[in-house]
Chain A
């Protein structure tokens, strides 16, 4: 999965935040909609689409979507 595709998949886990607000540099934890439901959405998206297991702690440790993408590439 490319970074652009990842950003798009990441955005799809959000129901209210417009997709155009998501870029590789987005600080996702600062989004109003960030919470337990979107956390679960991203964790299960990464599991289903990338076959990688991440935890909420991993999501907390990263800041931008690109940083998270790079982290997932390394595991």
Chain B
């Protein structure tokens, strides 16, 4: 595809690419002409994603981004990047009175610190071209709305979006844009495992969305592609809600 939405000639890092939104972003960005470095924890599933990518020159690096040393090691291997789509993250559902001492550390390490440390290492090692674009997959949770049992998850996602805004300001002078997408309920493996626990009536749940369906990973990938492309060249520090209108009501 030509024009300002094209990713032709760009090299991108896509984290969380072994499943869900991250995998879809990698696939869609490759279709748009980018060379992709994919990251995830599970080498086998990462290889599956790699085999799904159109075009040539893609590579996979397995690393757990909650581990600061693993992040530094991965960043050292990266080529210069035009963009990053950071999707790595985990979920947690539970009532406040049953939280365990380590729950916050574990979740914030995976959802917030991974993003902060990845950004820090990319900038310190000068792995980002000028211009470059970083897009964090945050959530409507904690930023725009919350549901029962999401206290820790919401806290990590609003921390992530807060970091993104500050990073957007700090890195603007280097030509690096930083933005977030805030997805609503997206039909991924995470969605289905939460669904299994809560056994909610899906048809009833769908009625909460003015656009009358759940999101698909492609809905989020399209927003991320916009924020990675030249079409958003004057957009930084923004939060793009992709929620089928859920937070309007």
Identify the A interface with B (CB < 8 A). Answer: 13, 36-37, 39-41, 43-45, 47-49, 55-57, 60
Contacts and interface: CB of A to CB of B under 8 A. Distances in A.
Interface of B: 93-95, 98, 100, 148-149, 196-200
Contact of B98 (A36, A39, A47): A47
A14 to B, nearest CB: 12
A43 B95 CA distance: 9
Contacts of B93: 40, 44
B146 to A, nearest CB: 13
A60 to B, nearest CB: 7
A13 B98 CA distance: 11
Contacts of A37: 148
Given A47-B98, A48-B100, A40 B199 contact: no
Nearest to A45: B98
A60 B198 CA distance: 10
Nearest to B100: A48
A13 B200 CA distance: 19
Q: Which 4 A-B pairs have the closest CB atoms?
A: A56-B199, A48-B98, A44-B94, A44-B95
A40 B100 contact: no
Contacts of A57: 196, 199
B98 A44 contact: yes
A40 to B, nearest CB: 5
Contacts of B149: 40, 44
B134 to A, nearest CB: 34
B101 to A, nearest CB: 12
A13 B197 CA distance: 17
Nearest to A61: B199
Contacts of A60: 199
B200 A41 contact: no
Given A36-B148, A40-B148, A47 B94 contact: yes
B95 A36 contact: no
Contact of B200 (A36, A45, A48): A36
Contacts of A45: 95, 98
Given A40-B148, A48-B100, A55 B196 contact: yes
